């Protein structure tokens, strides 16, 4: 949203575009900090990874830092953002493919004509 002018998120269960595969993210509802603490408690080995935006100075890291700052200033904000992705109201967004705004103009003209 902040860098690509697109509102998108990977849901906890995602079907591929061709419909042949499903990706299941069973820990999608767990905060990263909780997962890190659990991994440390269980003494899971942490395998270094340079995938998924873990490299420094990437947009993903910038957004992660921004969200952490927001969370510090306003506790619960990241949960609210995650909740918003679960409660989308297409008519409240500006995407003409999701909601027929042009049809509203026609309906309104018909309603105002004496």
Residue 50 to residue 15: CA distance in whole angstroms: 25
Q: Tokens in use for 37?
A: 């603490």
Alpha helices for the chain (secondary structure H): 32-41, 59-73, 77-84, 101-112
What are the pLDDT tens digits along the chain (114 aa)?
Answer: 887 888 888 889 999 999 999 999 999 888 888 998 999 999 998 787 766 656 666 788 888 899 999 999 999 998 898 888 889 888 888 888 888 888 877 666 656 655
Residue 101 to residue 77: CA distance in whole angstroms: 31
Residue 109 to residue 103: CA distance in whole angstroms: 10
| Cα dist from 96 to 10, 17, 78, 110, whole Å | 22, 21, 28, 21
**Which pairing describes strands 22-24 and 13-15: parallel, antiparallel, or unpaired?**
antiparallel
* pTM confidence score: 0.62
């Amino acid at each position: 949203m902040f860098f690509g002018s697109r509102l998108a998120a990977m849901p906890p269960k995602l079907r591929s575009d061709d419909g042949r595969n499903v990706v299941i993210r069973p820990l999608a509802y767990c905060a990263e900090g909780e997962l890190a603490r659990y991994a440390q408690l269980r003494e899971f080995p942490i395998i270094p990874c340079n995938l998924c935006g873990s490299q420094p100075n990437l947009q993903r890291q910038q957004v992660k830092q921004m969200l952490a700052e927001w969370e510090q200033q306003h506790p619960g904000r990241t949960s609210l953002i995650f909740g918003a992705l679960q409660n989308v109201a297409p008519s409240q967004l500006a995407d003409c493919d999701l909601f027929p705004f042009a049809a509203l103009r026609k309906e309104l003209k018909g309603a105002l004509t004496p």
